[in-house]
A and B are shown apart, each in its own frame.
Chain A
Amino acid sequence: MERSKLDLWVGLFVCAGIAALLILALKVGNMGSVGIGSDSYKLYANFDNVGGLKPRAPVKSAGVVVGRVARIAFDNERFNARVEMSIDNDFKFPKDTNASILTSGLLGEQYIGLDAGGDTANLANGDTIKLTQSAVVLEKLIGQFLYSKAAEGDNSKK
């Protein structure tokens, strides 16, 4: 095996390997999209119930991913959940934005949906979103449904 042929094969091998790594990083992974990186700012929101929300869950507005959930912690003073979000620097939201925990599809994973309000001032790094809507808990929903059905039954009897 002459020197040049050997070098050629090794060069090809290393290139192929690096290409595979890049493919994995860019096309398979989510390096292209918003990550928990340095070009994002933090927003907080308190929820009575986060349901099945997990860290790294997407934060969407109008269905488009604008950030990720960074951390979920228990707020011991208010006895609710404090969610820390990393929002892409490109997207600013007004102070009266509404944050709700929604489910993608019927039984899919949960995410935070941001509904922009009309305020002229925007939320800054470290601000807390005041208007929040907690996750829908299935048991409470069923309980409500049964209760309302029972109430309806009472009403119709009267």
Chain B
Amino acid sequence: MLNRSAFLNIRGLGHHTVDGVWRLGYALRFFGITVASSATAFRRFRLIVRELYFTGVLSLIIILVSGLFVGMVLGLQGYHTLQTYGSESALGVLVALSLVRELGPVVAALLFASRAGSAMTAEIGLMKATEQLAAMEMMAVDPIARVIAPRFWAGVISMPLLAALFSAMGIFGGYLVGVVLIGVDEGSFWSQMQAAVDVRQDVLNGVIKSFVFGVAVTWIALFEGYDAPPTAEGVSGATTRTVVTSSLAILGLDFLLTSFMFRGI
């Protein structure tokens, strides 16, 4: 009995793997078609602007508030640890580098995936389930060009902006806790930070990271919605998958990118 179920499991595993590879290929083709169909989206920029509102502007609150809190926590924790080495003046450096290099892009991307990503998946999935996409095809309007591509570019544009806002709010939060509340010297907070944070090395790399995350998250969100089974459970399953797959992708890509970018330091 044990042998039989073990055998079946391996078969199931193989089946799942083949399924997964097939799906990945489909997803890549979907990505290619989306990018190739983007001409319409840019020619009628209003479509992208509209989606920018729904992905970017509506994510502002969660990004800004979370950024503030993360920065404040960094300020608190950082102070306590640095204090044991007598290096409280380096608090600015700690807060800024942590945010700009890592926390800004990564946490903002995770929040974006759960808020904007899942919303996109649900929206596209519902459009598919209620035959809106099929209706559009019947009217000789390519749904990928009209519906998917604008959302893709809106996500890609929003992500770096949101990550920058997150980092900026975080640094402000660190400043609030460190300088205003605890009393770290304001001058050394900012001057040491300025000395340690390199635009090319840190800020630019952070921006590149958030751009890559934006592409990954938006692609996953749109694909899951487009591929969702046209039922209620199908759409809800797809939404969950978006958040899980996006989160894993963000963290995995973060490791890859960090090991490339911050090699010699």
Contact = CB atoms under 8 A, between A and B. Distances in A.
A30 B199 contact: yes
B164 A14 contact: no
A35 interface: yes
Contact of A33 (B49, B50, B194, B202): B194
A9 interface: yes
Interface stretch (B53-61, B246-254, B255-263): B53-61
B96 interface: yes
Given A6-B50, A10-B53, A13-B57, A25 B161 contact: no
Contact of B52 (A13, A16, A18, A28): A13
Contacts of A158: none
Contact of B264 (A13, A31, A55): A55
B190 to A, nearest CB: 8
A55 B263 CA distance: 13
A33 B160 CA distance: 24
B171 interface: yes
Contacts of A28: 96, 100, 171, 193-194, 197, 203
B118 interface: no
B6 to A, nearest CB: 53
Contact of B49 (A7, A21, A23): A7
A143 interface: no
A118 interface: no
A22 B200 CA distance: 13
The interface size bin for chain A is 20 to 34
Contacts of A56: 198, 201
A20 interface: yes
B168 interface: yes
A24 B100 contact: yes
A17 interface: yes
Contacts of B243: none
Nearest to A37: B200
26 contacts: A1-B53, A6-B49, A10-B49, A10-B56, A13-B158, A14-B157, A16-B165, A17-B161, A17-B164, A18-B161, A20-B164, A21-B161, A23-B168, A24-B164, A24-B167, A24-B203, A28-B171, A28-B193, A28-B194, A28-B197, A29-B100, A29-B194, A30-B194, A33-B194, A56-B198, A58-B195
Interface of A: 1, 6-7, 9-10, 12-14, 16-18, 20-21, 23-25, 27-33, 35, 55-56, 58
Give the top 9 A-B pairs by smallest Cβ distance, nearest first.
Answer: A17-B161, A20-B164, A29-B199, A20-B168, A31-B199, A21-B164, A29-B197, A20-B165, A13-B57
Interface of B: 49-50, 52-53, 56-57, 60, 96, 100, 157-158, 160-162, 164-165, 167-168, 171, 190, 193-203, 206-207, 264
Given A16-B60, A17-B165, 9 more contacts: A12-B57, A13-B161, A14-B157, A17-B164, A24-B203, A27-B194, A28-B193, A28-B203, A29-B198
